[in-house]
Chain A
Amino acid sequence: DVKVTQSSRYLVKRTGEKVFLECVQDMDHENMFWYRQDPGLGLRLIYFSYDVKMKEKGDIPEGYSVSREKKERFSLILESASTNQTSMYLCASSLAREAGELFFGEGSRLTVL
């Protein structure tokens, strides 16, 4: 079974803090993604990566950055958290570069006060 593990299920941070969300997958997948899930808005892509040290902007990259130093790990960074970044963050991975099944982590619910 593919396992995508997100380091924190629940986080509470203050405005202006730097936030790291970590994601690890154990199936040697090429692609990794960070999505944000908000009620009524579905899943929106923040950033994705199809190789180590490669990253591409998704649909809503503003206020976020990412890091992929190792194939199995993809980190989402909020340099200065704001209240409008309160959300559920979902990491996902997929096997190969062409379109295929996404395997999601359990999600990290971030609250910014």
Chain B
Amino acid sequence: GENVEQHPSTLSVQEGDSAVIKCTYSDSASNYFPWYKQELGKRPQLIIDIRSNVGEKKDQRIAVTLNKTAKHFSLHITETQPEDSAVYFCAASFTGTASKLTFGTGTRLQVTL
């Protein structure tokens, strides 16, 4: 089955700096890569996703890049703000398996003033 590794487990940045979280996956058949944000005490919510037919996707301050050859993908947050503080999870799946997502272990991002 799929295995997703996520690094770092914790990340502290100053407000206004950029943050990068990296994930690698094992199954070359995976073709869908979402990122979820979980604020303290709340449910995970999708913030951005990418499919294997594109190499990069951007939504305001958030971007995701995908390198299928190396089997890794990354989340980039620019101009970080205190409300970006949360746990971020990457995930991977193969479309044909009823969106059975395999998640990474999470990154706790702390944005300090």
B106: which A residues are within 8 A, CB to CB?
A: 40, 42
Interface residues on B, range: 20 to 34
Q: Is A79 an interface residue (CB 8 A)?
A: no
Chain B residue nearest in CB terms to A106: B43
Q: Is B74 an interface residue (CB 8 A)?
A: no
Q: Is B14 an interface residue (CB 8 A)?
A: no
Total A-B Cβ pairs within 8 A: 63
A45: which B residues are within 8 A, CB to CB?
A: 100-102
Whether B105 lies near A41 (C-beta < 8 A) is: yes
Whether B99 lies near A98 (C-beta < 8 A) is: yes
How many chain A residues touch B (Cβ–Cβ < 8 Å)? Answer: 26
Q: A42-B89, A43-B44 are in contact. Are A94 and B99 (CB under 8 A)?
A: yes
B44: which A residues are within 8 A, CB to CB?
A: 43, 90, 102, 104
User: Which one of A42, A94, A98 has the greatest number of beta carbons of chain B within 10 Å?
Assistant: A42
Closest chain A CB from B28 CB (angstroms): 16
List residues of chain B with CB under 8 Å of any chain A CB: 1, 6, 9, 31-32, 34, 36, 42-46, 49, 89, 93-96, 98-106
List residues of chain A with CB under 8 Å of any chain B CB: 31, 35, 40-45, 48, 50, 56, 58-59, 90, 94, 96-102, 104-107
List 16 A-B pairs, Cβ < 8 Å: A40-B105, A40-B106, A42-B6, A42-B106, A43-B44, A43-B89, A45-B101, A56-B100, A90-B44, A94-B99, A98-B95, A98-B99, A99-B99, A102-B34, A104-B43, A104-B44
